[in-house]
Every structure is written in C-alpha cells, then in structure tokens.
Amino acid sequence: MSEFTIYHNPRCSKSRQTLALLQENGIEPTVVEYLKTPPSVNRLKSIVKALAISPRDLLRTKEADYKEAGLDDSSLTKEQILKLMVAYPKVIERPIVTRGDRAVVGRPPENVLKLID
C-alpha cells in the first residue's frame, strides 16, 4: 500500500492531472474514488486537520448537492458538515492527496509537489 492516497474523481480534469503528476514523479498512490467510497467522518476529520482548515473550507459550494444537503445553513456544526460530506460526497473539494499526517488539495495540481520529499 502506498503512503500516498488520492481522493479522486476520474471525471475531473484537475483530479486526473494531479494523479498523472504523482505518477510522473514515480508515485503510485492508493486511489480512492470518493464518489463511490466516501471517506468516513473520522477520515475527513484527519484530512481537515492535516489541511489546517475547517470542514466548510473543503466544500464545493457550487454543487447542486450543497444546497440540497442544506450545507448553506451557517448554523451547522463541524460534525454536522462532516456527516453531510459523507452523505453527499460530490460536495467534497477534489482532489485531495494525503501522505501520512500531511495533505493538500490538488488545485492547482502542482500543490501535490509539496508532499514529495
């Protein structure tokens, strides 16, 4: 199993570019198609901690599911947001690449280079 994991959507050009950049650097990450297999609440907690952001900062606010899930409600707690992210994985920003306790969002794809020593 690779020490790198990419939360990937193969239909997303940035996600494909980020995966290709990892592979060009000799890294074969564990690929998680998060729309088919969403990360757990606990995994999302560790990702947001590694990114040093709040769960709300990892949301795709222009997705139809964002409004449908009620994520536009500013009174939601972090825990509620995380649970909704699992239930509506389309709202999770992509791609996310993790390595140990570090993480980056591959927007732009070159962000992933920060994880390569």
Q: Distance (Å, rounded) from C-alpha 92 to C-alpha 105?
A: 11
At 67-94, the pLDDT tens digits run 999 999 999 999 999 999 999 999 999 9
Strands 30-33 and 102-105: unpaired
Q: Residue 1: which pLDDT band, with cuts at 50, 70 and 90?
A: low
Whole-model pTM? 0.95
At 25-65, the pLDDT tens digits run 999 999 999 999 999 999 999 999 999 999 999 999 999 99
Q: Distance (Å, rounded) from C-alpha 91 to C-alpha 64?
A: 8
1-29 average pLDDT score: 95
Q: Residue 2: which pLDDT band, with cuts at 50, 70 and 90?
A: confident
Catalytic site residues? 12
CATH classification code of 4-115: 3.40.30.10
Bridge partners (DSSP) of residue 32 are 7
How do the domains of the chain map onto residue ranges? 4-115
